[in-house]
Chain A
Amino acid sequence: MNPAIQPGEADAAPAQAADTSGLALACELPADAGADGRIWIPAGVSHRIRIADPAHRARLLAAIFDMQPDRDLKLVLLGAEVNALRMEERIALRARVAFLPAAGGLLSDLNAWENIVLPLGCHFPERLPGIAVEVHGLLTGLGMAPEMLLGKLPEEMTLLEKKIAGFVRILLEAPDLVLVENFAAGLDRAERMRIPYFAATYHASHPGGTFVQLEDVLGV
């Protein structure tokens, strides 16, 4: 069992909870969504949820990341009920959440370094001058030699390298909630053994943050 992951903690969803302030993510998907249709994740933990149905998974992600609210889905994100927020509050909340797609979410015409610093260059360009040292440290901490990765285009990378580049990109923005999609999918046994370090690295750099693995099957 992955030591950084605590499944079951979220499964005990209180039926009538009113105080949402300590929650990182909570919502109730329709019954056919899969084993974890009811999601109840407190802030500051690592957790894994399973939503087998791709349509429901897409709906949850859209509710979190799209700016148009899904009125039929009651979603609590980082302590706030999303549908009750104004647009500017939703935008501000959205800036505290990051998502790592299963394939890493890299842009194919940029190399790993350009992909890693892309959001920072767009949102916090003033941080760019000193960022190389931070990237180097994060990559080394995740067991990846920076000189082996940073010059590669996505088509030259292994799936694990893509996930690591995408993950480092997320870490640089220090989000309060990280959603990782099907992290173990496509990785071999040795690569899967490294998954705990991802959550540990995130919590080390952002102690109050919440790390959620979003799976379609519980493979690991």
Chain B
Amino acid sequence: MIGAYRELEGCMQLLGHVLRRLTVLRLPPIGEQLTRQIYFAGASAAAGIVTRGAFIGTLIIVYVIEVLEADAALAVKILLWVVLREMGPLLAALLVLQRSGTAIATELALMHVTGEIASLRQMRIDPRDYLVAPRVVGIAVSTVVLTFYVQVIAVGGGMLLSPLVVDATFDELADSFFLLASPMDIVYSLIKSLLFGVSIAVISCYHGLHPPGISINAIPKATISAVTQSTLVVMLLNVVFAYLVFGELLFGLVTAKL
């Protein structure tokens, strides 16, 4: 319990440091780190998500129309709820965690074990400035962009591919989509994905910078802690966020149009 509290406190301090020191991103070596992060976490991850996103959208439409014997409007409505609000941010977050969260925790723990973190300190470079700030910002930006990408691919791909399988035209599906979709859905999901990205990056960086020892064995342990805790926090945030936004607290800011 105390350990969990310390880790939470450590993560919050790390996040606070990053928010206070965002200006270091203007320094050339740190700006370069940011570019690398965005390329690795965002650009190179985008290609793999196209087919997955399109198939998810198609599956949802086909299931709703075929299995539930619903019309195109309900299929698009469920596509909106599932993909736009929930699945898009979650899929992007899990992809980022799977690729970048593990890479960050492993890389930083290895740097700790091999003395590279100490080298940075000896150069009077704060590892939180050089390593954490570009990773947190890079991962947050990448998660938001990937979420939007997943949403576009899943909704667009689903509406394009579904007419090949079920009795619904693209025009029907598109009309229903534009009738039902609200900009608030997009804003809600992007804010949520920003929080997911920040959480994954901060937790992964924290465990990477604080591996449980200085032997090689500490590296996988740091990675495992980063992945399990990031997954837990992402799921928790999802529930809390849904309660805040859809619940009574914010007067049902985003409502489900039935």
Contact = CB atoms under 8 A, between A and B. Distances in A.
Interface in A102-136: 103, 105-109, 114, 117-119, 121-123, 125, 128
- Contact residues of A: prevailing secondary structure: helix
A94 B124 contact: yes
Contacts of A117: 29
B99 interface: no
B169 interface: no
Interface residues of B, number: 19
Interface string A77-116: 0000000000000000011001101010111110000100
A107 B111 CA distance: 8
Interface in B113-144: 114-116, 119-125, 129-130
Contact of B115 (A101, A118, A119): A101
Given A101-B115, A105-B119, A118 B29 contact: yes
Contacts of B122: 65, 98-99, 101, 105
B29 A121 contact: yes
A107 B28 contact: no
B254 interface: no
A92 to B, nearest CB: 11
Contacts, number: 49
B125 A122 contact: yes
Interface residues of A, number: 22
B4 interface: no
A108 B125 contact: no
Contacts of B130: 122
A125 B124 contact: no
B27 interface: yes
Contact of A121 (B28, B111, B116, B121): B28
A118 B126 CA distance: 12
B119 A122 contact: no
B28 A128 contact: yes
Contacts of A128: 28
Given A118-B29, A121-B29, A122-B30, A108 B114 contact: yes
A118 B116 contact: no
B125 A118 contact: yes
A95 B123 contact: no
Nearest to A65: B122
Contacts of A99: 122
A93 to B, nearest CB: 11
Nearest to B31: A121
A88 B119 CA distance: 21
B123 A121 contact: no
A101 B122 CA distance: 10
Given A118-B125, A119-B125, A107 B119 contact: yes
Counting chain A CB atoms within 10 Å of each CB, the highest count among B107, B119, B130 belongs to B119
B121 A65 contact: yes
Contact of B124 (A108, A121, A123): A123
Contacts of A114: 29, 32
A119 B123 contact: yes
Interface of B: 27-30, 32, 107, 111, 114-116, 119-125, 129-130
The 9 A-B residue pairs with the shortest CB-CB distance, nearest first, are: A105-B119, A121-B29, A119-B123, A121-B28, A99-B122, A122-B125, A118-B29, A107-B116, A122-B27
24 contacts: A65-B121, A65-B122, A94-B124, A99-B122, A101-B119, A101-B122, A103-B115, A105-B123, A107-B116, A107-B119, A108-B114, A108-B116, A109-B107, A118-B123, A119-B123, A119-B124, A119-B125, A121-B27, A122-B29, A122-B123, A122-B125, A122-B129, A125-B28, A128-B28
